Amino acid sequence: MTKITLNRKIGQRVLNGHPWVFANEVNRVEGNAEAGAIVDVHTHDDKFLGRGYFNPKSQILVRILTRKKNEEINDDFFLRKLSEAWKHRQQMGYKENCRLIFGEADGLPQLIIDKFNDYLVLQTLALGIDVWKDSIVKAIQQIFQPKGIYERNDVPIRELEGMEQKKGFLSEPFDTNIIINENGLKFHVDIANGQKTGYFLDQQDNRRHIQHIVKDAEVLGAFTYTGTFEIHAAKYGAKSVHGLDISESAIAMCNKNAELNGVADKCKFECVNAFDVLKTWVKEGKQYDVVMLDPPSFTKSRATIQKAITGYKEINLRGMKLVKPGGFLVTSSCTNLVQPDLFLEIIQMAAKDARRQLRQVTFQTQSSDHPIVWGWENTHYLKFLIVQVL
């Protein structure tokens, strides 16, 4: 097996358990490992550090899979890892829908598996994990006996690892338009064409937090995607719900989901640019009892972090101005480069400029089927905040 020896002076990150080994942390490579091969990683003084997959084309030269010297990477390894992950989700109370594998947080770097009832969708985002796709599918079939497995590898990040984008069935073909249950509601999921794996499970716990603040309220939701927050609001007793999204297909799905849950009479969904509309409505003096903001990530790179800060401040400033005194702002950020303290600082800056006082109701992160490993910034990405705007 190829042996990777690290430099004498490296940060404590890898030594403390983080699975990424960057190329500039490596002193030498002994052996002729091909891209995607399993390699052993040793410290400068030849102590075994871990075993993982190798890609010389990536800045992250090795992603560690195990710290156990006697643990082999084979079919049984992936069966064991998936079984452990499913057991953990069940302990957290998840039965039907959950993120089964959340990459590094579950010890399987760059692997994503979402479970939608009896259907599973996976993403293998690095070459080293893509090599083991057959083993992963075999493990899924053994644990779940699912009705279908689908891959959503139509993501640009794969190209950085020298792989093509693709999507398709990893089981016998099935109807990729399915219906799932969430918090007593039903939602259409387009596995083949929806964003990411077809549906955002990371907010499923947070959607319950709006239950009491939306009762008898006039609610505005921006960046609705498939209308999950908005339909929860309608079902929780909102007087009216107005949802905005720039995608025509998303708005069509919002309307289907509203009809599916018997709340179409309360909901109005519009295909518009939310950034522009919110700005206009602020000028017009419109106000709502509850404003919900769930924008897309504003940056994927530290080089544009200031742009993201400006964007989050501006959108929340507009949101606050649209809230009636004593009403509520529900706001999120899915940018992992904007960590919780910075996010709260941005919201406070927006409140200052809006000349509004805030009173926190709740501050949460992603649903617990997306585990956070302390000290690993990339596993802690979602911020979910509800404040009363005085």
Beta bridge partners of 360: 387
Boundary residue ending a domain (43, 66, 89): 66
Domain tally, the chain: 3
Give the pLDDT score at 336.
85
Say whether both 299 and 326 belong to one domain: yes
Query: In this structure, is residue 189 part of a structural domain?
Result: no
Query: In this structure, is residue 182 part of a structural domain?
Result: no
Query: In this structure, is residue 277 part of a structural domain?
Result: yes
Say whether both 106 and 167 belong to one domain: yes
Whether residue 338 contacts residue 346, with contact meaning beta carbons closer than 8 Å, is answered with yes
Angle at 17 between CA 15 and CA 23, to 5 degrees: 65
Whether residue 319 contacts residue 331, with contact meaning beta carbons closer than 8 Å, is answered with yes
The pTM of the full predicted model, rounded to 2 decimals, is: 0.94
Say whether both 8 and 87 belong to one domain: no
Say whether both 165 and 89 belong to one domain: yes
Q: pLDDT tens across 8-60, in order?
A: 988 788 988 999 999 999 999 999 889 999 999 999 999 999 999 999 989 99
Whether residue 251 contacts residue 245, with contact meaning beta carbons closer than 8 Å, is answered with yes
Angle at 70 between CA 68 and CA 72, to 5 degrees: 95
Percent of the chain with pLDDT over 70: 100
Low-confidence stretches of the chain (pLDDT < 70) are none
Say whether both 81 and 214 belong to one domain: no
Give the pLDDT score at 11.
78
Tell me the C-alpha distance between 79 and 84, whole Å. 9
Boundary residue ending a domain (48, 66, 84): 66
Q: Which of 133, 190, 118, 122 is nearest to 155 (CA)?
A: 122
Say whether both 50 and 82 belong to one domain: no
Query: In this structure, is residue 186 part of a structural domain?
Result: no
Q: pLDDT tens across 309-364, in order?
A: 999 999 999 999 999 999 999 999 998 888 999 999 999 999 999 999 999 999 99
For residue 17, give its domain range.
3-66
Say whether both 58 and 82 belong to one domain: no
Say whether both 55 and 79 belong to one domain: no
Task: Report the CATH number that the domain containing residue 91 is assigned in CATH.
Answer: 3.30.750.80
Boundary residue ending a domain (13, 38, 66): 66
Per the structure block, which two tokens stand in for 52? 């993982």
Say whether both 237 and 369 belong to one domain: yes
Say whether both 285 and 361 belong to one domain: yes
